[in-house]
Structure 1
Amino acid sequence: MTTATAGPAVAPTATPPPRSRRSGPGLRGETRAAYGFLAPALLLLVLFVAVPLAWAAVISLQRTNGFGAGTFIGLGNYARLLSDPTFWRSALNTLLFTALVTPLSMALGLGAALLLNSVLPARGLLRSVLILPMAVSGVATALIGLLVFDQNTGVVDSALRAVGLPSISWQSGSAPAFASVVLVTLWWRMGFNMLIYLAGLQGISPELTEAATLDGCTTWQRIRYVTIPLLGPSSFFLLIMNVIYSFQVFDIVYVLTGGGPQNATSVLVTYAYDTGFDTRDQGYAAAIGIVLLLLSLLFTAVQWRTNRSRDLVD
């Protein structure tokens, strides 16, 4: 009987990984071309954003009076903020303004987008009317609001007096003044929110709502459990944009009320403006601006870490 002898084992030859087609001189050339196209925008960003921010941070560490060089005082301006009642009043007004305007403007924008996304007569005309405030500046919008809410010659008070009702002190009353700022801002911001939500609605597949209808869902259930979750990325974007805008509101407040009466409508930006250009204390105004920047960055970072709907796709 013959015994078969096994031959020597042959080690398998390792196949080298395929070379990436995107490596080499071609990729480096594309990278240089990309940086070349980005260079003008990056240069403008550095010149008009990074440099002013850095200079504002430097000025916030100085005591200034608008004339001559400032005196370095370290964190003195920031310590002064802690005992400044006007700063805290302005900060509270800013937070209250943000808490009112952000959800209300987003809700109104969503409602308008749902209507304009349906079979509605004259949709094009209504869409143009809602978007029209976006075409004018905040100052022009505030001037229109002043024509409506002026307590002496405004449209609202004139109509109230015509029907025998007492007029409202839009400029001399704390609560009415704040309400007029909120109402004008809602009118201005609703069109932008509507436009973003409308784009999101038109990106939702009709089969999803049709399937929900066949399953017996009511209109509200379709909106609550299908439409709103799929609008998660749009809502995340609008939340960030509306909060940042509310933190930085200036023109509407300054034209309508000037921060009065008795700082009832003063916000952080108007307080920083008055401090920097009226009292000429640029160092303290820069400190207010840096605090406002840090609050905006903190809110954006928290929302980015906690909001999971930002990457939702349908």
Structure 2
Amino acid sequence: MTVFAAQVSGRRRARRLLPDLTGWGFVLPATLVIVGLSLFPAVWALLLSLRDGDLLTGGEYVGLQNYRDMLGDTELAAAAGHTALYTVLFVPGSVVLGLALALALNLKIRLIGFYRTCFFVPYVVSAAATGILANFVFDPDFGIVNAGLKALGLPATGFLQDPGQAMLTLVVISIWGGVGMPAVVYLAALQDIPRELVEAARVDGGVGRHVLRHVVLPQLRPATVFLLIWQTITALQLFDLVYTTTKGQPLDSTTTIVFYLYRQAFQLFHSGYGTAIAYVLFLVTLAISGAVLWRSAR
């Protein structure tokens, strides 16, 4: 009797495990491929950052010397400053503008689907295409923007060819191309807010701005945390737009960290040093993301 009960129990346990095993059977091959393609380059890059060589020859082992060299690199410090300026301008600008667009696109008006598509299309366009288009739009001599300024009787400006304006112009281009992401995320979050909650606030005497501040914005907090982390990572990894527009110029005023490490690794063939910069950037990104999550939890 005891043996029979044990057999029945084993069969039941097998039936319960069968769906899990079936699921793992489907996802395990893809999981192994993804994890393998992620871990191998990461480990290889870490080992490369401890050597002084290029991508073809291993070079000699130097330990943490590449990381120590970063402390006295003035060009890297300047690139970090440019990246910080870009991040400080791009992240709040794109999030706030995305929220404003989401509030507008959440209204019930005619052709609302068309308007939503128009605001999201620039986000799905590649940054390379956006950069090429920006070169024509902001060209100092033949660009559309300067043509409009001249038509209004205003002086032309250098935009991407002016060291004082190039980074600000990149921020404007990036917000135009990236605001679709915050707008869509906020729009989805707005549509998940229970209507009864908003209507109850209005019945209690709350006007538009009070309802927005005390009811809507608190409900959007998870979406805001996600967008702050996402947009910060996007800003810290800025490369393709710089590569297709200014290539770090004029006077290195738009050289970001990622473009600087690209120059070190693939133009100057200091792959160990470039990889060390990439690892430090990863740690900084991880620290910022953790700080945002910790602040949100509090």
Please give the TM-score of this superposition, normalised by the length of structure 2: 0.92
| 1:205 maps onto 2:194 in alignment | yes
AA at the equivalent of 1:53: A
SS of structure 1 residue aligned to 2:244 = helix
Aligned length, in residue pairs: 290
Distance 2:81 2:16 in 1: 52
% identity of equivalent residues:
34
| 1:293 maps onto 2:293 in alignment | no
SS of structure 1 residue aligned to 2:164 = helix
- Of 28, 34, 50, 1:61 maps to 50
Please identify, of 102-111 and 142-151, the stretch whose mean Cα deviation from structure 2 is larger.
142-151
Trace 1:11-160 onto structure 2 (pairs within 5 A).
Answer: 24-160=13-149
Deviation at 1:97, TM superposition (A): 1.0
Distance 1:147 1:48 in 2: 38
SS of structure 2 residue aligned to 1:171 = helix
Deviation at 1:236, TM superposition (A): 1.2
Deviation at 1:242, TM superposition (A): 0.6
- Unaligned runs of 5+ residues in structure 1 are 1-19, 310-314
Trace 1:210-289 onto structure 2 (pairs within 5 A).
Answer: 210-289=199-278
Distance 2:125 2:101 in 1: 20
Deviations 1:212-256 (A, max 9, x none): 111111111111111110011111111111111111111112112
Distance 2:206 2:93 in 1: 26
Distance 1:41 1:152 in 2: 51
Instruction: Report the structure number with the largest CA radius of gyration.
Output: 1
AA at the equivalent of 1:46: V
Please give the TM-score of this superposition, normalised by the length of structure 1: 0.87
Deviation at 1:68, TM superposition (A): 2.3
Whether contact under 8 Å (2:123, 2:179) holds in the other structure is: no
Deviation at 1:44, TM superposition (A): 2.7
Runs of 4+ in 1 over 6 A off after TM superposition: none
| 1:163 maps onto 2:152 in alignment | yes
Deviation at 1:66, TM superposition (A): 4.4
Q: CA RMSD in A?
A: 2.0
Whether contact under 8 Å (2:202, 2:211) holds in the other structure is: yes
Distance 1:53 1:224 in 2: 43
Deviation at 1:67, TM superposition (A): 4.2
Distance 1:169 1:103 in 2: 25
Q: Which residue number in structure 2 is paired with residue 308 of structure 1?
A: 297
AA at the equivalent of 2:227: L
- Unaligned runs of 5+ residues in structure 2 are 1-8
Distance 2:69 2:94 in 1: 35
Deviation at 1:199, TM superposition (A): 0.4
- Of 163, 168, 173, 2:162 maps to 173
Distance 2:164 2:133 in 1: 20
Deviations 1:117-151 (A, max 9, x none): 11233211111110111231110111122221122
Distance 2:148 2:175 in 1: 21
